[in-house]
Homo-oligomer: A and B are copies of this chain.
Amino acid sequence: MLIECIPNVSEGRRPEIVAAMAAAIRAIPGVRLLDHSSDPSHNRSVFTLVGDAAGVERAVLALFERAAADVDLRTHTGEHPRLGAVDVVPFVPIEDVTMADCVALAKKVGAAVAERFQIPVYLYEDASANPARKNLEHIRRGEFEGLAAKMATAGWAPDFGPAAPHPSAGATVIGARMPLIAYNINLATNRLDVAKKIAAAIRHSSGGYRFVKAMGIALDDRGIVQVSMNLTNYEKTPIFRVFETVKREAERYGVAVLESEIVGLVPSAALNAAAEFYLQLDRFTPGQILEHRLRQPE
Protein backbone atom coordinates (compact mmCIF):
# COMPACT_ATOMS: atom_id res chain seq x y z
CA MET A 1 0.00 0.00 0.00
CA LEU A 2 1.43 3.38 -1.00
CA ILE A 3 0.12 6.75 0.15
CA GLU A 4 1.78 9.99 -0.81
CA CYS A 5 1.69 12.92 1.61
CA ILE A 6 2.78 16.47 0.81
CA PRO A 7 2.83 18.54 4.04
CA ASN A 8 3.40 22.28 3.60
CA VAL A 9 5.15 23.95 6.55
CA SER A 10 5.37 27.70 7.28
CA GLU A 11 9.17 27.82 7.45
CA GLY A 12 11.37 28.42 4.43
CA ARG A 13 14.16 30.69 5.65
CA ARG A 14 16.03 28.75 8.36
CA PRO A 15 17.68 25.73 6.67
CA GLU A 16 18.65 24.10 9.99
CA ILE A 17 15.01 24.05 11.13
CA VAL A 18 13.88 22.56 7.79
CA ALA A 19 16.69 19.97 7.95
CA ALA A 20 15.55 18.90 11.43
CA MET A 21 12.01 18.43 10.06
CA ALA A 22 13.34 16.31 7.17
CA ALA A 23 15.39 14.23 9.63
CA ALA A 24 12.30 13.64 11.79
CA ILE A 25 10.44 12.26 8.74
CA ARG A 26 13.39 10.13 7.57
CA ALA A 27 13.67 8.56 11.04
CA ILE A 28 10.31 6.79 10.63
CA PRO A 29 10.71 3.20 9.35
CA GLY A 30 8.74 2.35 6.20
CA VAL A 31 8.51 5.99 5.08
CA ARG A 32 10.54 7.57 2.29
CA LEU A 33 11.10 11.29 1.99
CA LEU A 34 11.19 11.70 -1.80
CA ASP A 35 11.81 15.41 -1.90
CA HIS A 36 11.71 18.64 0.06
CA SER A 37 12.14 22.21 -1.09
CA SER A 38 11.98 25.62 0.60
CA ASP A 39 10.93 28.98 -0.81
CA PRO A 40 12.37 31.88 1.24
CA SER A 41 10.06 34.50 -0.27
CA HIS A 42 7.06 32.32 0.59
CA ASN A 43 8.80 31.38 3.86
CA ARG A 44 7.40 27.91 3.27
CA SER A 45 8.70 24.36 2.73
CA VAL A 46 7.04 21.46 0.95
CA PHE A 47 7.87 17.84 1.86
CA THR A 48 6.95 14.85 -0.33
CA LEU A 49 6.88 11.51 1.43
CA VAL A 50 5.43 8.07 0.73
CA GLY A 51 4.67 5.00 2.80
CA ASP A 52 1.85 2.91 4.14
CA ALA A 53 -0.91 4.45 6.31
CA ALA A 54 0.75 3.72 9.66
CA GLY A 55 4.16 5.02 8.56
CA VAL A 56 2.83 8.19 6.96
CA GLU A 57 0.74 8.91 10.08
CA ARG A 58 3.81 8.61 12.33
CA ALA A 59 5.89 10.80 10.00
CA VAL A 60 3.26 13.56 9.92
CA LEU A 61 2.96 13.56 13.72
CA ALA A 62 6.77 13.75 14.01
CA LEU A 63 6.72 16.73 11.64
CA PHE A 64 4.03 18.45 13.75
CA GLU A 65 6.18 17.96 16.83
CA ARG A 66 9.10 19.79 15.19
CA ALA A 67 6.92 22.53 13.67
CA ALA A 68 5.02 23.19 16.91
CA ALA A 69 8.35 23.63 18.71
CA ASP A 70 10.15 25.74 16.09
CA VAL A 71 7.58 27.79 14.14
CA ASP A 72 5.71 30.79 15.58
CA LEU A 73 3.05 32.25 13.29
CA ARG A 74 2.95 35.45 15.37
CA THR A 75 6.32 36.47 13.91
CA HIS A 76 6.04 34.66 10.55
CA THR A 77 6.00 36.69 7.34
CA GLY A 78 5.92 35.48 3.75
CA GLU A 79 4.14 35.86 0.43
CA HIS A 80 2.19 32.60 0.56
CA PRO A 81 -1.16 32.50 2.40
CA ARG A 82 -1.02 30.33 5.54
CA LEU A 83 -3.13 29.44 8.55
CA GLY A 84 -0.72 27.34 10.62
CA ALA A 85 2.80 26.16 11.42
CA VAL A 86 2.01 22.96 9.51
CA ASP A 87 -0.30 24.66 7.06
CA VAL A 88 -1.78 21.90 4.92
CA VAL A 89 -1.44 18.11 4.83
CA PRO A 90 -2.92 16.26 1.81
CA PHE A 91 -2.96 12.45 1.61
CA VAL A 92 -2.95 11.07 -1.94
CA PRO A 93 -3.75 7.46 -3.00
CA ILE A 94 -0.97 6.00 -5.19
CA GLU A 95 -0.97 2.20 -5.26
CA ASP A 96 -3.23 -0.52 -3.82
CA VAL A 97 -5.08 2.05 -1.71
CA THR A 98 -8.44 3.78 -2.15
CA MET A 99 -9.51 7.38 -1.71
CA ALA A 100 -11.68 6.13 1.18
CA ASP A 101 -8.51 4.83 2.90
CA CYS A 102 -6.91 8.27 2.52
CA VAL A 103 -10.03 10.00 3.88
CA ALA A 104 -9.97 7.68 6.91
CA LEU A 105 -6.27 8.42 7.41
CA ALA A 106 -6.85 12.21 7.19
CA LYS A 107 -9.49 11.96 9.93
CA LYS A 108 -7.30 9.76 12.12
CA VAL A 109 -4.30 12.09 11.80
CA GLY A 110 -6.55 15.14 12.30
CA ALA A 111 -7.89 13.73 15.57
CA ALA A 112 -4.37 12.85 16.75
CA VAL A 113 -2.99 16.32 15.91
CA ALA A 114 -5.84 17.99 17.81
CA GLU A 115 -5.42 15.76 20.84
CA ARG A 116 -1.63 15.73 21.03
CA PHE A 117 -0.85 19.36 20.12
CA GLN A 118 -4.15 21.19 20.86
CA ILE A 119 -4.14 22.52 17.31
CA PRO A 120 -7.57 22.97 15.63
CA VAL A 121 -7.91 20.92 12.43
CA TYR A 122 -10.07 21.59 9.36
CA LEU A 123 -10.70 18.74 6.94
CA TYR A 124 -10.69 19.62 3.22
CA GLU A 125 -11.24 18.20 -0.28
CA ASP A 126 -12.45 14.58 -0.25
CA ALA A 127 -11.99 14.32 3.53
CA SER A 128 -14.61 17.03 4.19
CA ALA A 129 -18.28 16.06 4.14
CA ASN A 130 -19.23 19.77 4.19
CA PRO A 131 -19.46 21.25 0.65
CA ALA A 132 -18.61 24.72 2.05
CA ARG A 133 -15.39 23.37 3.56
CA LYS A 134 -13.82 21.43 0.69
CA ASN A 135 -11.85 24.27 -0.89
CA LEU A 136 -8.43 25.00 0.63
CA GLU A 137 -8.31 28.67 -0.44
CA HIS A 138 -11.73 29.23 1.10
CA ILE A 139 -10.71 27.68 4.44
CA ARG A 140 -7.45 29.64 4.45
CA ARG A 141 -9.02 33.03 3.61
CA GLY A 142 -8.17 35.60 6.32
CA GLU A 143 -4.98 33.68 7.14
CA PHE A 144 -3.48 33.26 10.60
CA GLU A 145 -4.05 36.92 11.45
CA GLY A 146 -7.80 36.64 10.87
CA LEU A 147 -8.18 33.12 12.25
CA ALA A 148 -9.42 33.87 15.79
CA ALA A 149 -12.23 36.06 14.42
CA LYS A 150 -13.09 33.56 11.68
CA MET A 151 -13.26 30.62 14.12
CA ALA A 152 -15.71 32.58 16.28
CA THR A 153 -18.20 32.95 13.40
CA ALA A 154 -20.96 30.47 12.55
CA GLY A 155 -19.88 27.56 10.36
CA TRP A 156 -16.18 27.75 11.21
CA ALA A 157 -15.88 25.44 14.20
CA PRO A 158 -13.00 23.08 13.39
CA ASP A 159 -13.50 19.38 12.63
CA PHE A 160 -11.15 18.43 15.47
CA GLY A 161 -9.60 20.27 18.44
CA PRO A 162 -10.10 23.54 20.31
CA ALA A 163 -12.53 26.25 19.15
CA ALA A 164 -9.76 28.88 19.08
CA PRO A 165 -6.38 28.99 17.30
CA HIS A 166 -3.26 27.54 18.87
CA PRO A 167 -1.30 30.64 20.03
CA SER A 168 1.81 29.99 17.93
CA ALA A 169 0.83 27.16 15.56
CA GLY A 170 -2.56 28.48 14.37
CA ALA A 171 -4.69 25.80 12.72
CA THR A 172 -4.05 23.04 10.18
CA VAL A 173 -5.93 21.90 7.09
CA ILE A 174 -5.78 18.12 6.55
CA GLY A 175 -7.41 16.18 3.76
CA ALA A 176 -7.34 13.68 0.93
CA ARG A 177 -7.18 14.38 -2.78
CA MET A 178 -6.18 12.81 -6.10
CA PRO A 179 -2.66 13.42 -7.42
CA LEU A 180 -2.30 16.74 -9.26
CA ILE A 181 -0.85 16.66 -12.76
CA ALA A 182 0.80 19.87 -13.97
CA TYR A 183 0.27 19.71 -17.73
CA ASN A 184 1.06 22.30 -20.42
CA ILE A 185 0.27 22.37 -24.12
CA ASN A 186 2.38 24.62 -26.34
CA LEU A 187 0.79 26.13 -29.45
CA ALA A 188 2.60 26.98 -32.68
CA THR A 189 1.58 30.63 -32.54
CA ASN A 190 2.42 33.82 -30.69
CA ARG A 191 -1.26 34.80 -30.35
CA LEU A 192 -1.89 35.01 -26.61
CA ASP A 193 -5.64 35.56 -27.22
CA VAL A 194 -5.84 32.04 -28.71
CA ALA A 195 -4.22 30.43 -25.63
CA LYS A 196 -6.52 32.43 -23.33
CA LYS A 197 -9.66 31.47 -25.30
CA ILE A 198 -8.71 27.78 -25.26
CA ALA A 199 -7.91 27.90 -21.52
CA ALA A 200 -11.34 29.44 -20.91
CA ALA A 201 -12.99 26.72 -23.03
CA ILE A 202 -11.52 23.84 -21.06
CA ARG A 203 -11.35 25.05 -17.45
CA HIS A 204 -14.05 24.24 -14.94
CA SER A 205 -14.52 27.79 -13.68
CA SER A 206 -15.71 29.02 -17.08
CA GLY A 207 -17.74 25.99 -18.19
CA GLY A 208 -15.07 23.45 -19.17
CA TYR A 209 -14.04 20.11 -17.71
CA ARG A 210 -14.79 19.48 -14.03
CA PHE A 211 -11.16 18.81 -12.96
CA VAL A 212 -9.20 21.31 -15.06
CA LYS A 213 -7.66 24.60 -13.95
CA ALA A 214 -6.16 26.46 -16.91
CA MET A 215 -4.73 29.74 -18.07
CA GLY A 216 -3.20 31.04 -21.29
CA ILE A 217 0.31 32.46 -21.02
CA ALA A 218 3.01 33.74 -23.39
CA LEU A 219 6.42 32.02 -23.59
CA ASP A 220 8.14 35.20 -24.75
CA ASP A 221 11.62 33.71 -25.14
CA ARG A 222 10.28 31.16 -27.63
CA GLY A 223 7.73 33.42 -29.30
CA ILE A 224 4.91 30.96 -28.65
CA VAL A 225 1.96 30.64 -26.25
CA GLN A 226 0.97 27.94 -23.79
CA VAL A 227 -2.20 26.58 -22.25
CA SER A 228 -0.94 25.92 -18.71
CA MET A 229 -3.05 23.50 -16.64
CA ASN A 230 -3.52 21.64 -13.42
CA LEU A 231 -5.48 18.41 -13.82
CA THR A 232 -6.91 17.69 -10.38
CA ASN A 233 -8.47 14.27 -11.05
CA TYR A 234 -6.92 12.36 -13.94
CA GLU A 235 -9.39 9.48 -13.57
CA LYS A 236 -12.46 11.63 -14.14
CA THR A 237 -10.91 14.19 -16.50
CA PRO A 238 -8.17 12.23 -18.32
CA ILE A 239 -5.14 13.82 -20.00
CA PHE A 240 -6.03 12.53 -23.47
CA ARG A 241 -9.48 14.14 -23.43
CA VAL A 242 -8.01 17.51 -22.45
CA PHE A 243 -5.29 17.18 -25.11
CA GLU A 244 -7.78 16.29 -27.86
CA THR A 245 -10.08 19.17 -26.87
CA VAL A 246 -7.24 21.71 -26.88
CA LYS A 247 -6.08 20.41 -30.29
CA ARG A 248 -9.59 20.71 -31.72
CA GLU A 249 -10.14 24.20 -30.30
CA ALA A 250 -6.74 25.31 -31.67
CA GLU A 251 -7.68 24.04 -35.15
CA ARG A 252 -10.62 26.41 -35.14
CA TYR A 253 -8.06 29.27 -35.10
CA GLY A 254 -5.81 27.58 -37.67
CA VAL A 255 -3.25 26.85 -34.92
CA ALA A 256 -1.36 23.56 -34.43
CA VAL A 257 -0.25 21.93 -31.19
CA LEU A 258 3.55 22.07 -31.06
CA GLU A 259 4.04 19.74 -28.09
CA SER A 260 2.79 19.06 -24.60
CA GLU A 261 4.66 18.78 -21.34
CA ILE A 262 4.18 17.11 -17.98
CA VAL A 263 5.83 19.13 -15.24
CA GLY A 264 7.07 16.97 -12.36
CA LEU A 265 5.54 13.61 -11.58
CA VAL A 266 2.65 11.73 -13.18
CA PRO A 267 1.01 8.49 -12.01
CA SER A 268 1.59 5.69 -14.50
CA ALA A 269 -2.18 5.05 -14.64
CA ALA A 270 -2.63 8.49 -16.23
CA LEU A 271 -0.24 7.61 -19.06
CA ASN A 272 -1.68 4.12 -19.46
CA ALA A 273 -5.14 5.62 -19.93
CA ALA A 274 -3.80 7.66 -22.86
CA ALA A 275 -2.21 4.56 -24.44
CA GLU A 276 -5.49 2.65 -24.01
CA PHE A 277 -7.49 5.45 -25.62
CA TYR A 278 -5.31 6.05 -28.65
CA LEU A 279 -4.52 2.38 -29.34
CA GLN A 280 -8.23 1.56 -28.84
CA LEU A 281 -7.18 -1.18 -26.44
CA ASP A 282 -9.97 -3.58 -25.63
CA ARG A 283 -10.28 -5.44 -22.31
CA PHE A 284 -6.95 -4.14 -21.01
CA THR A 285 -6.24 -4.43 -17.27
CA PRO A 286 -3.36 -3.02 -15.18
CA GLY A 287 -2.50 -6.63 -14.31
CA GLN A 288 -1.18 -6.98 -17.87
CA ILE A 289 1.59 -4.47 -17.22
CA LEU A 290 4.68 -6.51 -16.51
CA GLU A 291 6.08 -4.27 -13.77
CA HIS A 292 2.69 -4.14 -12.02
CA ARG A 293 2.52 -7.91 -12.05
CA LEU A 294 6.02 -8.17 -10.57
CA ARG A 295 4.97 -6.15 -7.54
CA GLN A 296 1.90 -8.26 -6.75
CA PRO A 297 2.09 -10.99 -4.11
CA GLU A 298 2.27 -14.49 -5.57
Contact = CB atoms under 8 A, between A and B. Distances in A.
Interface of A: 2, 4, 32-34, 50, 94-95, 179, 186, 239-240, 243, 257-262, 264-268, 271-272, 274-275, 277-284, 288-294, 298
Given A271-B272, A271-B275, A2 B281 contact: no
Q: Which 7 residue pairs are nearest across A and B when measured between Cβ atoms? A: A259-B282, A274-B275, A271-B275, A278-B278, A265-B290, A259-B280, A267-B290
Contact of A259 (B271, B281, B290): B281
Contact of A94 (B271, B294, B298): B294
14 contacts: A2-B294, A240-B279, A243-B278, A259-B281, A260-B279, A260-B281, A261-B284, A262-B281, A262-B284, A265-B290, A267-B290, A268-B290, A271-B272, A278-B278
Contacts of A265: 288-290, 293
Contacts of A298: 32-34
Contacts of A34: 293-294, 298
Number of copies: 2
A292 B32 CA distance: 14
Contact of A282 (B260, B288, B289): B260
A268 B290 CA distance: 7
Contact of A274 (B278, B289, B290, B293): B278
A243 B275 CA distance: 11
A257 B266 CA distance: 29
A6 to B, nearest CB: 12
